[in-house]
Each structure stands twice: as C-alpha cells, then as structure tokens.
Amino acid sequence: MSGCVIFDDDEVFVDNTQQETNEEPTQKRKRVGKTRSNCWKSFEKIFIDGVRHGKCKWCERALKADGNNTGTSSLNKHANNCKKNPENLKNQQTLQFKKEPTGEGSVSTWKHDDKRIKKAMLNLFVVGGLPFKFVENEAFIEYTNALNGKVIVPCRTTISKKVSLYYQEERNKLVTFLCNPLNTIHLTTDCWTSPSKRVHYIVITAHFIDDNWEMHKRIINFKELDSQRGEDIGKEVLKCIQGWGIKNVMTCTVDNACSNDKAIEFLKNKLPNLYNEGKHFHIRCMAHIINLIVRDGMNKNDESVKCLQDAVRYIRKSTQRIALFKKCMKAVGVESTKFLCNDCPTRWNSTYDLLKIAVDLEKAFYEYEMEDRSFARDVVTPVSEDFVTCRAMVSFLEKFKVKTELVSTTSKPLVNRFFGEVCGIYKHIRVWSKNKRFYSIGKDMIDKYEKYWGDFENLNDYIHAFETLIKYKMPENKPLSELDITAKTKSLINDIESRFENFFNCYNTNSNVPFETGGSQDAVHIDDDDDFVGDYFAQSVNSSASKETELTRYLNEGQTQGVKDFDILVWWKNNASRYPILSRMAKDLLGIQISTVASESAFSTSGRIIDSYRANLSAPIIEALVCTQDWVRKSKKPIVDNIDDILKDDDIAKELEDAIRTQNGNGKRPIDINDVEIIYSFQIIHSFHVQPTWPIGDDLEFKHLKLKLL
C-alpha cells in the first residue's frame, strides 16, 4: 500500500516501505524546506510503516511525528523530560564533597553550568599560561570528557579569540575604578629590552588602595617602544594615563636611568595641576639605589672573595669536576641540597648566593684539592682565612638582600618604612667599615649613599616629611645631647611640621566631613629592639589638652611604635571615623611605591614574559595576555607558553588590538583637579602608627648619624 503523507514542516514523502528504516523514501513529490524544530537536535528521523518517527538519541525511544496528527509536539515534550538528555541534567543539582581551606570537608550542591565551565577553561589558559593549541591535545580532551562528558571542548581559534573579549571585560571593570574621582593612583614603570631581538618594551603598573583599605596593583600597559629616549617613554606613559581616563596620578616611581629622569620632566610639563608643580611627582626606586650602593662597593672585591669565585668557576667548567666535587662532599659528610653556582659580575646578589653556598662546603674544597692535582696548579686554592672573610662578606651582604626583598613586596604599604630603612642601611655600612677588610668597600658605598640619601633635599617629600619627629619630643637625657641637636635640625623639624599642617589644611578645606571630637583610643606600645629612630626620640606621654582640631588630637595621641606584624591599613580602616580627613590623606599616601619591583617582576629571569621563542608574537596579543593574566591570576607566576603559531593569526591580532585601543572608560567621569582640588600631602610615614626600623646600639659615632637626614 502506498500513499503520500504531508508533514507539518512542509516536507512531503511517498511511503514505499512497510518496515523501519533510517532512510527516507526515494520518491519525493516536493521538498519545501528543512526541519526547523529544535527538537530534532535530540532525535533521529526514521520511518515505520511509511510514517515518520523520531528516535531519541539518548534513550532510543521512537515517537510518532507525522504532520497530520501529532506533529513535533510529542518530540518536544519528550526532549524536555528525557532523563538521559544532557540538556536536562544541566539544571539538576548533585551533591559534591568540598574541602575547606581549614582542611575540613563539607558537602555542597553542584550543577552543570556551561558559562561557568567556559570561563574556568579560559582562566586555565590565560592564568595558567597554557598554549592555546593545548586545547586540541588528545590527552586534555580525554581528561575533560572523563570529568564531564557534557563539556564541549572549543578549538584553539575559539579560545584565542575569547581572550580579546575576556581582556575587554576585565578592562572595563578596572576602568570603572580608575576613573572614580575619589581614587588616587600611583604608577610604577620600567623599560626592558627583549633578549631575542632589539625590541624595547615598557610596562606600567597602577597601584591604589580601595574603599575597603585593600592594596592593589594592576599592570595597565605593556607595549613596544621605538626607543628608550626619555621623551618617548614619557609619551607612552602619558598616552596610557589618558587612555585609561586617569587624571588623579599622584606619583610615578622609576629607576635611576637618565632617560627616566627626562621622561618624568616630560610628564611634569604635560600633566596638569600636579601638586607643588610636580616637585614630588618623581619617586626614585629604592631597590635600584640599594643595588647601586652595593655594586659600587663590590667593584673592589676582596682577594678572598675573588679566590673563592675562581675556585667555583674552575669546578663548574666540566661535568667530571662537578662529579668529583660531589664525591668529595659525600666523603667529608657534607649534606646539602644546594650545589656550587656561578655568579654574574653585574648582579651582586648572585655573588652573595655563590659565597653563601661555597662557605658551607669548606671541607669539600679541601678534599677536592687533594683529589684533583690540577686544581692548585690552575687557580689559587682557598684557605681557611679566605673562608672566614667570605663568611663575613655573606653576613654583610645579607642585610642588603633582606632589604631588597622587603621593598619587593607589593601586597602591603612600604612607604611608611622608608626612612627607618634608609637610616638602617647607613648604620650597617658604617659599622662594617670599621673592619679594615671592609673599609675600602664601605667608603665607596657611603659615597654612593650620600649621592641619593645623604641630604634632606635629595629625598622626596612624600616619603620623608612626616616622620615620627612630629609625634616625638626630644628627650632631655640620652641618647642625644643638646650639642647633637643643631639649630639646623630643629629648624628642619619645624619645617616638616609646618608642611604637614599646611597639607592637612588643604584636605580640611576640601572635606565635607563634619569634625568629630571623640576621645582617643589608647595607643599600643610594644618595645622592639629593631628600632633605629626610637633611640633618638622618646615618646611623649603627656597628651595635649587641646582638642580643637583633628590634627592636634591625632598628634597628641600616643603612638604605636615597633609593633611587629602591625597592619597599618587595618589600623586606619578602624580609625577612619575618628580621623576622617587624616584617613583620606593616609589612603592617598600609603599607596606610594618606593620600588619598581612590581613592574619588573614581569621580567624576572626565572620566568620572562617575552622570550626568544615568542619573538614574533604581535604586540597587541602580548599585552592582552600579560594584562589579563595579571588582573585575574591567583598566583604570581608569569606567563610562560608557546603560542606562536595561533597568535600570528592576523584576524585574532586585529581583534585584540581593537580591544586595547585607547578608551576613556565606561565609569564615572574622571576627576578634574579643578573640580575637586586634590592637593597631596607630605608623607605621614611613621606617624601612621608604625616604625619598625633598626637599632643604634651604644656606638657613640652613630649618635651623630647624619642629622641632616632628619
């Protein structure tokens, strides 16, 4: 029996079969169009006795779907209720075991979420630093399917194109904050040259403190430079500031290169309404200055240090010598997980690492000398006296290493520690200079120290003007005599206090916060032996009776000094209601960076962002990856991947470049300093209730320590 059946999707078939088949009848009268119903995504068309049916792809149930009676309504109903349909499982919650940070376990609900899975996969490639082509790796696909068979793994082109959207999404969030009129931004910047080809890059990092008193840093620019001329650097920084809609830039921290000095001058001429005509806009990187000081001293290496350096280089020249030295280590019973390392002439910290490891292997050197007869012939072998000297050198350099690591921190404010650390460095050098072996080294270091930190006028007002001098009074007895306190020092202290008061008045004038005269909280005082400034000044225990202003109330309150693990941001967050104007000042000033390490961490030798394997990557893609990774990452590891082939795609590069183009932001209108006069203060540093510094001891020489610094 044959006949024709007309279906609701306008397809006409002739029934020439009486059995189930997956093929349509060969004779057709008319074909108007394809099936349009979404239900056919879950069904396979079959014919039973000439009647079209839909066979479920998940449970294999066949349902009639002819156009005269049922149409596709039954298919839609089944597709929405089929228990084996993955689309239905997405909304079904299941229980999962979740491990808490405390180590305890808990049970929570989970359901399939395509958007969340796609976002997590994008995070994996951007934050984890995986190459985009890894998405096509068979092992990755197998692993993903084993975890969740409903996940559709995208191709590498899709992943790479999603980076631009991800970058733009995260960028818009950041623009909204940076354009907020109440936020003050501090910049750090540095230039770097690719080791693979002569290409110059500039990285600009924004630092700020949010309304919850949390410290943040975000890389907002990573671009190629035509040259490292000061004007070119300045133009790129200015372009970045304008592109992000930032007008409330307080400081810019750079290293001591001449080109950076010229870049700062360019910015000071171009940026409007900088406080005090930009006099305090420039912050010199403390880490670089420490490096210059130590390098000047290390240029005159001690003979013992040179002897040990030569011995290490000799041993590391061949694998046979290395194997023999390891054998000697076992023979003398030296157990160490570290082995001899070479140093770099321009990196003093590498010399420190070389000496620190070598002095612990002293016995192995003696054993090696007996095993290798050419050792004593080719180099001057180290003796006991050399190891004694090198141990002393390790102790001497360790202080600088600790301080360099300290200023490398980007998760908490450090500007409040600047003055004490500077004084501690001076004392450390002078103490070691008394040793005849270190006299020449110390002299060169002192000369370099004097150049940058030896004079009050050479220090930036933001990072020294509000020391503990204001909240301390000179003692009538020890440790300073009246002869030590010169007229110049007294005048300088008065000048600092005057500057602070003037700045406070500027904030007070522009503040709508009503003045509160609430009582002060008890100050916390914990003795700390590691206190440099505290040996000069004694805390004033008599509070002033005057409660006329917020400033006098704050200055007359007892100070927290030398508190270990003291969180200055938490203190100001808890006391913001008591000091509404001063807290605004503190929020602006505590974000100042005394080091460019936050930017330079992107160029660490252990994990460079740009290496010889990616010399041909387009600049827009590099910036999108670097910035996005920095914004969303949970760790501090730099991007390390090989995505050359996929990222050379011109279409992808164009999408990324469009995403990076200059925009003024989607947030609030950027603040104009003419609208809300932002006048910056001289730093409150140690009067911000913290001053962990270094002890003076009883050495009379240091009771005359460069009072011009104070």
Q: Residue 28 is inside which H or E element, if any?
A: none
Name the β-bridge partners of 388: none
The whole-number pLDDT of residue 408 equals 76
Predicted confidence at residue 542, as pLDDT, reads 40
Distance CA 458, CA 451 (A): 8
Element holding 135 (H helix, E strand): none
Burial of residue 521 (CB within 10 Å: 0-12, 13-18, 19+) is exposed
Handedness of CA 244, 250, 253, 259 (dihedral sign): positive
Mean of the pLDDT values across residues 496-500?
A: 67
Residue type, 321: R
More confident residue, 414 or 687: 414
- Tell me the CA distances in angstroms from 672 to 205, 247, 263, 273, one per residue in order: 22, 7, 23, 9
Question: Structure tokens of 581?
Answer: 């104007």
Distances in whole angstroms, Cα of residue 542 to Cα of each of 80, 244, 537, 555:
78, 49, 15, 11
What length does the chain have?
Answer: 710
Cα dist from 685 to 49, 280, 411, 471, 500, whole Å:
90, 15, 17, 11, 11
The answer to whether the Cα torsion of 528, 529, 531, 534 is positive or negative is: positive
Look at 629 and 390; give whichever has higher pLDDT.
390
β-sheet bridge partners, residue 487 = none
Query: What tens digit of pLDDT does each residue of 297-311 get?
Result: 887 767 888 899 899
- Is 99 in a helix, a strand, or coil? strand
Q: Is the pLDDT of residue 48 over 60?
A: yes
Please write the tens of the pLDDT for every residue from 646-693.
334 444 444 445 544 544 344 433 333 232 222 222 232 233 333 333
Cβ neighbours of residue 597 under 8 Å, at least 6 residues apart? 285, 287, 407, 408, 410
Tell me the pLDDT tens digit for each residue of 344-394.
777 788 888 899 999 999 999 999 988 888 888 888 888 999 899 899 999
Q: What pTM value is reported for the model?
A: 0.66
Quick check: 609 pLDDT over 60?
A: no
pLDDT score at 324: 92
Residue 671 pLDDT: 32
Average pLDDT over residues 261-279: 82
Mean pLDDT, residues 157-180 taken together: 81
DSSP 594-611: S-SHHHHGGG-TTS-SS-
Cα separation, 357 vs 386, in Å, equals 14
pLDDT(536) > 80: no
Amino acid 490: pLDDT = 63
CA dihedral 350, 355, 358, 359 (to 10 degrees): -160
